[in-house]
A and B are shown apart, each in its own frame.
Chain A
Amino acid sequence: DAGITQSPRHKVTETGTPVTLRCHQTENHRYMYWYRQDPGHGLRLIHYSYGVKDTDKGEVSDGYSVSRSKTEDFLLTLESATSSQTSVYFCATDDNRSSYNSPLHFGNGTRLTVT
Chain B
Amino acid sequence: KNEVEQSPQNLTAQEGEFITINCSYSVGISALHWLQQHPGGGIVSLFMLSSGKKKHGRLIATINIQEKHSSLHITASHPRDSAVYICAVRLQGAQKLVFGQGTRLTINP
Contacts and interface: CB of A to CB of B under 8 A. Distances in A.
Interface residues of B, number: 21
Contact of A42 (B30, B45, B86, B95): B86
B43 A90 contact: yes
Can you list the 9 inter-chain pairs with the closest CB atoms, starting with the nearest? A106-B43, A108-B42, A43-B99, A101-B31, A42-B101, A42-B99, A103-B45, A104-B45, A103-B48
A64 interface: no
Interface in A77-113: 90, 92, 99-109
B95 A48 contact: yes
B42 A107 contact: yes
A58 B96 CA distance: 8
A31 B42 contact: no
Interface string A53-64: 000001000000
Given A42-B100, A48-B96, A102-B48, 15 more contacts: A40-B101, A41-B101, A42-B101, A42-B102, A43-B88, A43-B99, A45-B97, A48-B95, A50-B95, A92-B43, A100-B31, A101-B50, A104-B35, A104-B48, A104-B88
Contacts of B42: 1, 90, 106-109
A100 B43 contact: no
B22 to A, nearest CB: 16
Contacts, number: 56
B44 interface: yes
A100 B35 contact: no
Interface in B20-66: 30-31, 33, 35, 41-45, 48, 50
Interface in B75-105: 86, 88, 90, 95-97, 99-102
Given A42-B100, A101-B50, A31 B95 contact: yes
A90 B35 CA distance: 13
A91 to B, nearest CB: 10
Contacts of A102: 48
A16 B50 CA distance: 44
